[in-house]
Structure 1
Amino acid sequence: MSKPSLRPNLIAAGHDLFWQNGYAATGVREIVASAGASPGSFTNHFASKEDFAGEVLERYFAYVCGLVDEALADDGLPPVARLRRYLDLITSKLEEADWARGCMVGNFSLETAPTSEPLRQKLADIFMRWRQPFAACIAQGQASGEIADAFSAEDLADVLLASWQGAMLRMKVERDPAPLERFKTIVFPLLFGKTSS
């Protein structure tokens, strides 16, 4: 009988350690020890630390996609209210970590994009996939006249995600939700105000 794969344990351990310490400060030995695996098991499953980190990012992004689906679900609320629901849902998750963690995709973007081309490409792909449900929700709001159509839904989705990442960065630095609330109070209404007619 074959042994169960240690791959899920390694990815779970890497997720927790990258989340807590960042990419550079987390070594393969630490990941292996946390997973209760032997040192050789890592190279049996992953070609490199970069390859491994890409899989950890996919695991995290799957979690984020679940939150996006929950918040943006077309359940009768207008599109702007569903977009706002996403921000409020994420704010509650950030509060659980005492405003210290932010978003793993954003953390990796700051830390690894300048030095790792494979991870930069992985992050670029994640952002492209991330914007799709937001663009669809925004397009629905534009079609109904709730959201101005001076800019494309895709561009507005990109600006929403990039600006929100910036607010989370400031939140982590300040250990305070004030940057998130400023975003909701100032930036969000500017992006998703009603059409003038």
Structure 2
Amino acid sequence: MPKPSLKDAILDAGLKVMFRTGYHGTSVRDVTTAAGAPQGSFTNHFRSKEAFASEVLDRYFEITKGLVAEALEDASLTPRARLKRYLDIITGRLEADGYGRGCLIGDLSLEAAGSSEMLRTRLAEIFAEWRMPFAACIGEAQRSGEIDSEFEPEELADFLLASWQGAILRMKVDRTPKALERFKSIAFKTVFKEPT
């Protein structure tokens, strides 16, 4: 009878460890210890730490896409309300973590994009894919007259995601939701305000 694969346990542990110690601060030993797996099992499943981090990032992005769908596909809300709903869902998750843990996509963008071309490329792909449902929702809001049409939906989606990442970074420093709430208040009274 073949041994069960420890890959999922290693990826789950890696997600938790990387959130706590970052990409550069995470060692193979840290991950395998957290997974209760022998170190050799890491190299059986991953050709490098970069490849491992890329799979952890993909796992995290799948969770993120689920949250995006939960908010942006809610047909009971207007498109503008769906955008707010996404930010509120994320705020709730950040609150549950005591405002000390942010977004792994943003964290790895800061920490690893400058030292790993493989991770930088994967992060660029993630941001391009992540932007798409936001651009679609913003476009719908523009067509219905909920949001001004001065900027292209893709530009506004990029602005939303990039600015929100900055608010999350500030939140981690302050350990309070003030930066998140300030961003939501200003963004929806300026860029995403209803036309008068």
Tell me the secondary structure at the aligned position of residue 190 of structure 2.
Answer: helix
1:55 corresponds in structure 2 to: 55
1:10 corresponds in structure 2 to: 10
1:186 corresponds in structure 2 to: 186
**Residues 1:174 and 2:167 aligned together:** no
**Residues 1:21 and 2:21 aligned together:** yes
**Residues 1:114 and 2:114 aligned together:** yes
| Deviation string, structure 1 residues 137-182 (Cα, Å, up to 9, x no partner) | 0111111111111111011000000000001111111111111111
Aligned-partner Cα distance in 2 for 1:143–1:187: 19
2:157 corresponds in structure 1 to: 157
> Greater CA deviation, 85-94 or 70-79?
70-79
> Greater CA deviation, 179-188 or 156-165?
179-188
Shift of 1:108: 0.7
Aligned-partner Cα distance in 2 for 1:96–1:132: 27
Aligned sequence identity (%): 56
**Residues 1:147 and 2:147 aligned together:** yes
Aligned-partner Cα distance in 2 for 1:44–1:63: 25
Shift of 1:195: 3.0
Shift of 1:34: 1.6
Tell me the secondary structure at the aligned position of residue 89 of structure 1.
Answer: helix
Q: Give the number of equivalent residue pairs.
A: 196
Aligned-partner Cα distance in 2 for 1:59–1:49: 15
Tell me the secondary structure at the aligned position of residue 126 of structure 1.
Answer: helix
1:75 corresponds in structure 2 to: 75
1:124 corresponds in structure 2 to: 124
Aligned-partner Cα distance in 1 for 2:94–2:32: 28
1:84 corresponds in structure 2 to: 84
TM-score, length basis structure 2: 0.97
Tell me the secondary structure at the aligned position of residue 120 of structure 2.
Answer: helix
Shift of 1:62: 0.6
**Structure 2 residue ranges without an equivalent (≥5):** none
Tell me the secondary structure at the aligned position of residue 114 of structure 2.
Answer: coil
1:97 corresponds in structure 2 to: 97
Aligned-partner Cα distance in 1 for 2:76–2:176: 33
Displaced runs of 4+ in structure 1, greater than 2 A? Answer: none
Aligned-partner Cα distance in 1 for 2:157–2:44: 39
Tell me the secondary structure at the aligned position of residue 191 of structure 1.
Answer: coil
Aligned-partner Cα distance in 1 for 2:82–2:33: 42
Match of 1:159, as an amino acid?
Answer: F
1:42 corresponds in structure 2 to: 42
TM-score, length basis structure 1: 0.96
Tell me the secondary structure at the aligned position of residue 114 of structure 1.
Answer: coil
Aligned-partner Cα distance in 2 for 1:161–1:63: 16
Shift of 1:104: 0.8
1:30 corresponds in structure 2 to: 30
Shift of 1:190: 1.4
Cα RMSD (Å) of the superposition?
Answer: 1.0
**Structure 1 residue ranges without an equivalent (≥5):** none
| Deviation string, structure 1 residues 8-51 (Cα, Å, up to 9, x no partner) | 11101101100111111110011112212222111111110000
CA contact (8 A) 2:148 2:192 kept: yes
CA contact (8 A) 2:102 2:169 kept: yes
